[in-house]
Amino acid sequence: MSSQQQSTQTGGDDKPGHTTPPLTARLVLAFGIISGLISFVALPFVDLEQLMLASDVYYYAADALLSGGDIYDVHPPDRSGFYYIYPPVVIFAFVPHALFGSPVIAYVIQTVLNGLFAAGIAALLWRALSRRGVSLTRLDALLFVGFAFTSAYSAITVINGQVNIWLAFAIALGLDALDRNRHTTAGLAFAAAALVKVFPAVLGLWLLRARAYRGVVSALALGVVGLLVGLLALGPDLTTTYFTEVLTGRYDGFDGAPDPTQTRGGAQRQVAALFGLGEPYVTVFAGAVLAPILGYLYLDVETDVQRQGAVLGTLLVTLLFFPLQRLYMVLAIFPLVILLYQLPPGRSRTLLLVGAVVSFLRIDYPLVEMVVSSTPVPETLEATLLALAEPFFQVVLPPTLGIWLLLAACVFVQYDS
């Protein structure tokens, strides 16, 4: 076993002795949880249609499977614009949702599963940090569970009945396996996440950088087997539909400057807003900005914090490239929490803390408009405030700004090391 493999297996060659968790890490997790709980409380007043949105889609798609229908051609009765968008084989995971004949029960099942996977993420974090010599308490365990299940990162997943916490668990399992030099397990875990939402396949780059070649092979094998199972069990038509119609329409970019009320973010939004570009240029430009950053993060991964910064950066670059981050920041919980608990004081830690807090903020332009218009201020001041807010929200949303700050923290982790 090489020295680098030994370092990876133990969780870091710079592993300290027993240390006390920094107060700032606990405060950031607590603030993230509070931000998420606010989303739950505000739901009935601002966005009630989000409740059960994804679990309804899963339920009716699975019901179509059981009744011999087309899983890609059904939608919930009151949600005409929402369809099942995963590979055919994944539909088998949602069959239990349809067995009871009730969308409400399907949502309850989905929520229970989300809670169990959140607990699994917490357990993996506990094990990973304990292995790194951090002295954890019951408070940390509660924070881990709460952050994985009810934080600003995961609240929308629970409200929708989405599967993103499942994917976050798979990614955490894979990263923990890499820590322990279990490359095959890591590849299988990453492939399981990528089989559902495709873009987690970018973690294959990290497997290559970590020289986890068995992980690359196992990931490719599981991906191929999963697609073949769907092909053989459900017929070629569904697989053809997935690749020719469903997959190609999942990651639409921007066409010129976005409206400030647009909820999709990411680097493509900044490129479109600042330069007025549309497809395909906006995608190419965003990739040209982000690719060198990822390359820089991969230059040196000798220490544990460098590795965690590179993994976190890999996920952040992916979420910035695709306009996905509000729903999918939960996928980055594992490396983010490891860094929050381990990164020493300095500018990289400051950026990490600030970036995390800003990424929790669910503030959009309509909310700013509502607050400003309902505040008793002179009309000229109201007009000035909205005139300043409109171009800001046209360019960037607060969660996106937080992700850029977190990515900057990853860059400084590399630079300072």
Tell me, yes or no, whether 31 and 148 share the same domain: yes
Closest CA to 167 of 206, 146, 195: 195
pLDDT at 114: 98
Question: In the chain, how many domains are there?
Answer: 2
Q: With contact defined as beta carbons under 8 Å apart, do 364 and 393 qualify?
A: yes
Tell me, yes or no, whether 331 and 405 share the same domain: yes
Tell me, yes or no, whether 311 and 202 share the same domain: no
Q: With contact defined as beta carbons under 8 Å apart, do 164 and 327 qualify?
A: yes
pLDDT at 113: 98
Q: Is residue 1 part of a domain?
A: no
Q: Is residue 182 part of a domain?
A: yes
Tell me, yes or no, whether 34 and 126 share the same domain: yes
Q: Is residue 12 part of a domain?
A: no
pLDDT in tens, 12-24: 444 445 789 999 9
Q: Is residue 384 part of a domain?
A: yes
Residue 19 backbone phi and psi in degrees, to 5: -125, 155
Domain boundary among 220, 235, 250: 250
pLDDT at 320: 93
CA distances from 62 to 189, 209, 215, 319 (A): 24, 38, 31, 28
Tell me, yes or no, whether 164 and 188 share the same domain: yes
pLDDT at 401: 95
Q: Is residue 390 part of a domain?
A: yes
Q: Is residue 77 part of a domain?
A: yes
Tell me, yes or no, whether 359 and 243 share the same domain: no
Per-residue pLDDT of the chain (417 residues; tens, 9 = 90+): 343 444 444 454 444 457 899 999 999 999 999 999 999 998 877 778 889 999 999 999 999 999 999 999 999 998 888 999 999 999 999 999 999 999 999 999 999 999 999 999 999 999 999 999 999 999 999 999 999 999 999 999 999 999 999 999 999 999 999 999 999 999 999 999 999 999 999 999 999 999 999 999 999 999 999 999 999 999 999 999 999 989 876 666 677 778 888 878 888 889 888 888 888 888 899 999 999 999 999 999 999 999 999 999 999 999 999 876 678 999 999 999 999 999 999 999 999 999 999 999 988 888 888 888 888 888 888 888 888 999 899 999 999 999 999 999 999 999 987
Paired tokens of 375: 């505040």
Q: Is residue 311 part of a domain?
A: yes
The domain of 174 spans 17-250
Domain boundary among 215, 250, 285: 250
Q: Is residue 170 part of a domain?
A: yes
Q: With contact defined as beta carbons under 8 Å apart, do 201 and 151 qualify?
A: no
The CA distance from 316 to 413, in Å, is 15
pLDDT at 15: 45
Alpha carbon 380 to chain centroid distance? Answer: 41
Domain boundary among 221, 250, 279: 250
Tell me, yes or no, whether 112 and 134 share the same domain: yes
pLDDT in tens, 74-88: 999 988 889 999 999
pLDDT at 17: 55
pTM of the model: 0.92
Tell me, yes or no, whether 230 and 360 share the same domain: no
Tell me, yes or no, whether 235 and 275 share the same domain: no
Tell me, yes or no, whether 185 and 321 share the same domain: no
Tell me, yes or no, whether 208 and 343 share the same domain: no
Tell me, yes or no, whether 84 and 108 share the same domain: yes
